[in-house]
Amino acid sequence: MCSPNGPRDPAPVLLEPGALTRCRHRVHLDAAFPEQLAVAPENTGVKQRQEAAAAQRESVRVRLTEADPDGWVRIAPDGPAAQRARDTLAACRAGADKIWGAVLPHERDTGRRGRVEILLRDADRGGYIPVIVVNHKVTDPGSGATTSGLFAWEPALDATRKVRAQLRDQIRLAHVYRMLERHGQASPSKVGGAIGYGADCILVHDLTAVLDEYDARFADRIAVARGDLGTVPSQIGECRACPWWSRCHGELEEAHDVSLVASGTRADVLRAHGVTTVDQLAAWEGDPPEDWPQGPFADAVVTAQAWLAGTPLVRRHDTVTVVRADVEVDVDMESYQEHGAYLWGTLLNVAGTSTYRPFVTWDPVPTGDEARSFGEFWTWLMTERAAAAASGKTFAAYCYSRSAEDKWLLGSARRFAGAAGVPTVAEVREFIDSPQWVDIYQAVGENFVCPNGKGLKKIAPIAGFHWRDDEAGGEASMSWYREAVGYDGDPDVSQRQRLLEYNEDDVNATKVLREWMSDGALDEIPHARDLRP
- 8 A C-beta contact, residue 365 and residue 372: no
Cβ pair 228, 13 in contact under 8 A? no
Pick from 324, 90, 372, 110: nearest CA to 215: 110
pLDDT of residue 125: 93
- Give me the half-sphere count of Cα atoms (radius 13 Å) on the Cβ side of residue 258: 24
First-to-final CA distance of the chain: 58
Give the per-residue pLDDT at 335: 95
Q: Is 217 helix (H, G, I), strand (E, B) or coil?
A: helix
pLDDT tens, per residue, the chain with 533 residues: 444 444 445 678 999 999 999 999 999 999 999 999 988 888 777 888 888 899 899 999 999 999 999 999 999 999 899 999 999 999 999 999 999 999 999 999 999 999 999 999 999 999 999 999 999 999 998 999 999 999 999 999 999 999 998 999 999 999 999 999 999 999 999 999 999 988 999 999 999 999 999 999 999 999 999 999 999 999 999 998 899 999 999 999 999 999 999 999 999 999 999 999 999 999 999 999 999 998 899 999 999 999 999 999 999 999 999 999 999 999 999 999 888 999 999 999 999 999 999 999 999 999 999 999 999 999 999 999 999 999 999 999 999 999 999 999 999 999 999 999 999 999 999 999 999 999 999 999 999 999 988 999 999 999 999 999 988 888 889 889 999 999 878 999 999 999 999 999 999 999 999 999 999 899 999 999 988 76
> In terms of DSSP bridges, do strands 139-141 and 161-163 run parallel, antiparallel, or are they unpaired?
antiparallel
User: How many C-beta atoms lie closer than 10 Å to residue 44's C-beta?
Assistant: 15
What pLDDT does 420 receive?
Answer: 96
Q: For residue 48, which amino acid is it?
A: Q
Distance CA 99, CA 105 (A): 15
What pLDDT sits at residue 49? 84
Q: In the chain, how long is the greatest CA-to-CA distance?
A: 92
Other residues' Cβ atoms within 10 Å of the Cβ of residue 398? 28
Q: Cα–Cα distances in Å, from 482 out to 48, 477, 529?
A: 10, 9, 48
Number of H helices, E strands in the chain: 18, 19
Q: How many CB atoms lie within 10 A of CB 389?
A: 13
pLDDT of residue 8: 46
Q: At CA 187, angle to CA 183 and CA 192, rounded to 5?
A: 110
- What is this structure's pTM? 0.85
